[in-house]
Structure 1
Amino acid sequence: MATPDPAGTAGGRAGTREWVGLAVLVLPCTLVSMDMSVLFMALPFLSTDLEPSSSELLWIMDAYGFLLAGLLITMGTLGDRIGRRRLLLAGAAGFGVASVLAAYATSPGALIAARALLGVAGATLAPSTLSLIRNMFHDPAQRTAAIGIWTAGFAGGGVLGPILGGVLLEHYWWGSVFLINVPVMLLLLALGPVLLPEFRDPRPGRFDVPGAVLSVLSVVAVVYAVKKTAEDGFSWTHLGVGLVGLALGAVFLRRQKVIDHPMLDISLFRSRAFSVSLATNWLVMVGLIGFGLFSSQYLQLVHGMGPLESALWSLPAFVVMPVGIAIGTALHPRIGKPNVIVVGLVTAAVGYGVLSRIQADSSAWHLVVSNVIMALGIGAVFALVTDLILAAVPPERAGSASAMSETAAEFGGALGIAVLGSIGTAIYRADVKAHAPEGMTHEQLEAARDTLGGAVDVAAALPAPAGSRLLDAAFDAFAREMRIIALVSLGLMALTAVLVGTLLRASGSGSEGTRSGVPEPASRDDRRHPATDPV
């Protein structure tokens, strides 16, 4: 284990080792975010090869994100006990192994299980990165720059996933989108012990096993209820499962208030700057990741593009995202972070508004222009939200704050896929059933209603007139699905802009946020300061 560089850990300016170490830390956070969206380009190939149902298809996407979100705080607490670098490297090894299992899965169930293992491993990676950055960069200007670079990596990963996936799928099978994780994880395992310092809490307290179980069960139950209700309609069983999940969540929160060593510092939410920024992070990710599920299918199935061509059409949004981050970083000293965030959210809402006019026969440029506008606005938001969250809390609570920030982002992305995906599936199914040509068998109709890829396969097997009518009905249904989801996302951006404009600016949060809104620690755990443990 390497000894921390004094320049980077004793309150001075960071040196070369810290900046190279930052590049190493950006790798896992980029991959963790990228694996939320890397399958978007592979969905048509998955549908053909593994033949998953629409429910299985959504679980292939969701298993990773929900386990990741549900375990972030648990793994963050574990990192305080065994060492943040040690947890990071253990997660890298697990992530690499799970990636290989996912690449060679032979059934929907096996792929879902592998994605779940990826979520567990990803949860060990994510909370370590920001905590280590906080301890490596003590100079405020350098720390802000480092967080901006980390943010660009995290936000860009969600956009980079479909692009890299498209390039690989042009030449290889769908499992190759997972194998790109392996060399990056090997690089992290090789350089991490040399470049990254170790940090652990010398007095971590007892690990809250019941709290960890409660948090995971609560998330899984609520998500299951939302997904099944959207797919199958209302039922008392689904409602009951959802209520059980909410009850377990309430018990978890209550437990965190009364135990001596909580996993989640509830008192942080008393800061308006912290809670509003956290909500902004969550709501933006709901729309961003949730809608990515539709964009790739629109280009590949409706416009008939190959994976590489569709990836190139997605490239402008990836290029524009860092531009938005740079603009937000440059503007905030002049007009304040809350105002920049509001402008970014309004810009993203305009992009969703443009997208809400899309039709099945629209040019691919319609999708590209709207995505570029959205990426520009969301980039400006991402540039400042994470920094504002950390600035809103005392330094000794930065670890807990960063874990909650990442939990909000990952849970928002997963919830976007589940909720927006389920709403879209319900719209698509209803439209295809209403407009499908007569003479189809029950099995053909069910396959066409299940997924857009299924409709394309069924249409190819039908006589020409019926196949063409089915394709027209399926493409129109999918375009209508996209328009409605775009309007939902527009509403989310507008709601978030109002939330920030009325609450965050009213709290007096400027460029550095407000620390005064966070109450003084009440327990011995709250009084602890993170300790450096060089080995």
Structure 2
Amino acid sequence: MAGRGGKWWALAVLVLPMLLISVDMTVLGFALPYLAEDLAPTGVEQLWIVDIYSFMLAGLLVLMGTLGDRIGRRKLLLIGAAAFGAASVLAAFSGTPALLIAARALLGVGGATLMPSTLSLIRTVFTDAKERKLAIAVWSAGFSGGMALGPVLGGWLLEHFWWGSVFLINVPVMVLLLAVGPFLLPEARDPNPGRFDVASAAMSFATVLPIVYGVKMAAEHGFGVVEAVSVAAGLVFGVLFVRRQRTLKDPMLDLELFKNRAFSVSVATNTLAVFAVVGLLFLVPQYLQLVLGLSPVRAALWMLPATVAGIAGALLAAKLSARFRTSSLVGLGLAMSAAGYLVMSFIGVESGLAALVIGFVLVGGGAALAETLTNDLVVSAVPPERAGAASAISETGYELGGALGTAVLGTLATAVYRAGIPADAPAAARETIGGADAAARALPDGHGLLTAARESFVDGMHVTSFAGTVLLVLTAVQAFLLLRAHRPVTVEG
């Protein structure tokens, strides 16, 4: 890679895998009814088809980030691209639920190599602080764009092709990455990584995976014995992992990273922000389709303004950071998101579309503004040789925040929803608004049940919106106060 222009070609290559990963996060939901009809999975198998990807991704991020620092981040990225492409083909042509679950697990392994590698390589390619902010803004905008592209692209593919096509779209992009990556991307690694500790690798996986599993299962089934044991087991392994890192000469995870205020506050801010935003993403599509009665494609189109705001917020962050302090901009972005949540607390059963779109735009734009800057702080606050591990910690925070947001805010909304459903309603109607919609259609006079379900769902969104507003305000205050001491530098060698 040579010349100034080569940096931006390299960035284009690094944005590609993030675009696909974010598309994959949203497109499967549209394909589920089709693959369920074809493969006839049980309820448990369907849950594993959906969740195994995020379980593997979250459990392996820290391991893959530190592995990239050791063997080379470009090498790990290319290995991950090959694995992701092969797993996509396997998923597309899976003939049984078990094979699809295995393919989704392999996709999670590949995704875990791609996510920290892309962000840490941006740290390597862009040594100038101003250029790096812009590069991370473009990287963030690509992720936001993929989130919006997923439902629209998925809807179009499923109208014209079979469900496996939503996985095959990954293959040409991964082939392109493998073809041009060796020429456009530099290699970067820790020159003195020390001995690789297998026990630490196993402990890191055994820490994150049970916690994410327990939290996600609690969101779907309630917090029972299995979920409690799973989370407790993860916490125990986490304590053992931390204790082992403190005794090793060459730890897998350098705990000294957390002593850097810019790094630790940025990771915490990202985790809390994702916690709040993902809780919203869990509810908005259901509101658009099951309360307002929009089709899946129309619902996806009404979510596009928030994505455009997210892209604009990310790019605006790079421009504003030259004139304003990082702490002020991060606080402003999170305050915008809090205002968006507050606006959405005014949505109604019949006339909530305008409030939802406006609120969602504020949430998306504000979160992108804040997270672009905190992502830059994560990779710039640590030595270049530790960029992979730092990126992995940040991405793990995203995964944990997303799982907790779905569980806590989703459970809160569900509790409010169930409280408003008549006691004599069918069991499925008391579980979800989708169940109430199906039950109401099967009853001779189901209008009353459907009305109660829609009103109760909106009540749940109101409570969740207030909770999200409070959380984001507190996150904005802590980020503003704790990052005030940070002074951005202009050039790094």
TM-score (norm 1): 0.83
- 3-state SS of the aligned residue for 1:199? coil
Counterpart residue type for residue 291 of structure 1? L
| Alpha-carbon distance, 1:290 to partner | 3.2
Aligned to 2:327: 338
Aligned residues: 492
The 8 Å contact of residues 41 and 97 in structure 2, kept in 1 or not, is answered as yes
- 3-state SS of the aligned residue for 2:187? coil
| Alpha-carbon distance, 1:413 to partner | 2.5
- 3-state SS of the aligned residue for 1:335? coil
1:152-167 mapped onto 2 (5 Å cutoff): 152-167=141-156
1:7-31 superposed Cα distances (whole Å, 9 cap, x missing partner): 4xxxxxx432332121011010222
Verify: 1:509 aligned to 2:490, yes or no. Answer: no
Task: Give the alignment partner of residue 264 of structure 1, picking from 253, 264, 286.
Answer: 253
Q: Mark the CA change 1:165 to 1:44 in structure 2 (over 3 Å): closer, same or farther.
A: same
Verify: 1:455 aligned to 2:432, yes or no. Answer: no
Aligned to 1:492: 471
The 8 Å contact of residues 120 and 387 in structure 2, kept in 1 or not, is answered as yes
Q: Which moved more, 1:162-171 or 1:375-384?
A: 162-171
Task: Give the alignment partner of residue 462 of structure 2, picking from 483, 488, 507.
Answer: 483
Aligned to 1:532: none
Verify: 1:377 aligned to 2:348, yes or no. Answer: no
| Alpha-carbon distance, 1:147 to partner | 2.2
- 3-state SS of the aligned residue for 2:371? helix
- 3-state SS of the aligned residue for 2:486? coil
| Alpha-carbon distance, 1:122 to partner | 0.1
What is the CA–CA distance in structure 1 between the aligned matches of 2:177 and 2:230, rounded to whole Å? 40
The 8 Å contact of residues 105 and 111 in structure 1, kept in 2 or not, is answered as yes
Q: Could you tell me which runs of 5 or more consecutive residues in structure 1 were left unpaired when the two chains were aligned.
A: 8-13, 437-444, 516-528, 530-535
| Alpha-carbon distance, 1:165 to partner | 2.9
Verify: 1:72 aligned to 2:61, yes or no. Answer: yes
What is the CA–CA distance in structure 1 between the aligned matches of 2:156 and 2:141, rounded to whole Å? 21
Aligned to 1:518: none
Q: Mark the CA change 1:272 to 1:74 in structure 2 (over 3 Å): closer, same or farther.
A: same
Q: Which moved more, 1:45-54 or 1:60-69?
A: 45-54
Aligned to 2:244: 255
Task: Give the alignment partner of residue 399 of structure 2, picking from 400, 410, 419.
Answer: 410
| Alpha-carbon distance, 1:427 to partner | 4.1
What is the CA–CA distance in structure 1 between the aligned matches of 2:471 and 2:449, rounded to whole Å? 33
- 3-state SS of the aligned residue for 1:511? coil
Identity between Structure 1 and Structure 2 (%): 53
Verify: 1:320 aligned to 2:309, yes or no. Answer: yes
Q: Which moved more, 1:89-98 or 1:339-348?
A: 89-98
| Alpha-carbon distance, 1:274 to partner | 1.2
What is the CA–CA distance in structure 2 between the aligned matches of 1:332 and 1:22, rounded to whole Å? 20
The 8 Å contact of residues 353 and 486 in structure 1, kept in 2 or not, is answered as yes
Q: Which moved more, 1:333-342 or 1:388-397?
A: 388-397
| Alpha-carbon distance, 1:512 to partner | 3.9
Aligned to 2:296: 307
| Alpha-carbon distance, 1:509 to partner | 0.9
Q: Mark the CA change 1:241 to 1:139 in structure 2 (over 3 Å): closer, same or farther.
A: closer
Counterpart residue type for residue 460 of structure 1? R
| Alpha-carbon distance, 1:281 to partner | 1.1
Counterpart residue type for residue 511 of structure 1? P
Q: Which moved more, 1:364-373 or 1:413-422?
A: 413-422
The 8 Å contact of residues 163 and 314 in structure 1, kept in 2 or not, is answered as no
Q: Could you tell me which runs of 5 or more consecutive residues in structure 2 were left unpaired when the two chains were aligned.
A: none
Verify: 1:122 aligned to 2:111, yes or no. Answer: yes
What is the CA–CA distance in structure 2 between the aligned matches of 1:197 and 1:84, rounded to whole Å? 9
Q: Mark the CA change 1:483 to 1:176 in structure 2 (over 3 Å): closer, same or farther.
A: farther
| Alpha-carbon distance, 1:232 to partner | 4.9
1:107-133 superposed Cα distances (whole Å, 9 cap, x missing partner): 766555443322111001112112222
Q: Which moved more, 1:489-498 or 1:194-203?
A: 194-203
Counterpart residue type for residue 287 of structure 2? Y
- 3-state SS of the aligned residue for 2:348? coil
Verify: 1:472 aligned to 2:472, yes or no. Answer: no
Verify: 1:195 aligned to 2:184, yes or no. Answer: yes
| Alpha-carbon distance, 1:166 to partner | 3.7
What is the CA–CA distance in structure 2 between the aligned matches of 1:315 and 1:450, rounded to whole Å? 29
Counterpart residue type for residue 13 of structure 2? V
Task: Give the alignment partner of residue 393 of structure 1, picking from 378, 382, 386.
Answer: 382
- 3-state SS of the aligned residue for 1:277? helix
